[in-house]
Structure 1
């Protein structure tokens, strides 16, 4: 039951993200900026809810970082002549770091531990 609710929440988050990016594409500045808060809040809340599952935690940290970078990039394009893009890249990079830590550090260690338990 809890897992089903979390998946529904993740799907709602995708809708929020798409709405935010649609506002960006359509150059609806006020609406786009307004959509940042629920989109980022949902990303962080989903990360918090999924923290007990290592794979979910690291993937959700990457998604949260990506959305923060995405929002920063959008604000930069809307209001600051696209000068925020280098800062957005930092958030995208952080997302890749989370995935790298998971796939090259955590996951191999978990697999070794499972094999040693057999």
Structure 2
């Protein structure tokens, strides 16, 4: 499933790069759906779950950014110098926080814990 996820992700980004709106937008659905399934399947392994959740937030941010460019509202002002494209930073930072939680809080407190599925 992880390998198929990468295929969908690549097609989504190819659609974005070539400005093929239908391909880019349609590929959001399977890419994000598989990402969420992977998070669910790894929920018993904190390391894997945190990394996969960060990837899910990354895909969400990336997809929002792509849509904002496709629909031409990316450069519009949201608040002062902050544009709508900058709102993609919210899920990007959520991904960073997932990894920070794992590496700064969880992992140091569980150094010898062996994770199993």
Please, what TM-score do these two structures have when normalized by structure 2?
A: 0.85
By how many angstroms is 1:11 displaced?
1.2
Give CA-to-partner distance per residue, 1:33-55, whole Å, 9 cap, x none.
01100100010010001111110
Alpha carbons 2:11, 2:23 under 8 Å: kept: no
How far apart in 2 are the matches of 1:69 and 1:46?
18
Aligned to 1:40: 32
How far apart in 2 are the matches of 1:12 and 1:109?
34
How far apart in 1 are the matches of 2:32 and 2:98?
17
Task: Give the ranges of 4+ consecutive aligned residues of structure 1 lying more than 4 Å apart after TM superposition.
Answer: none
Tell me: higher relative CO, structure 1 or 2? Use CA pairs within 8 A at least 6 residues apart: 2
How many residues align? The count is: 105
By how many angstroms is 1:80 displaced?
3.0
Give CA-to-partner distance per residue, 1:60-105, whole Å, 9 cap, x none.
1100000000000000000033143122111101000000000000
Higher helix share: 1
Gaps of 5+ in 1: 1-8
How far apart in 2 are the matches of 1:80 and 1:55?
37
How far apart in 2 are the matches of 1:85 and 1:105?
31
RMSD, aligned CA: 1.2
Please, what TM-score do these two structures have when normalized by structure 1?
A: 0.85
Gaps of 5+ in 2: 76-83
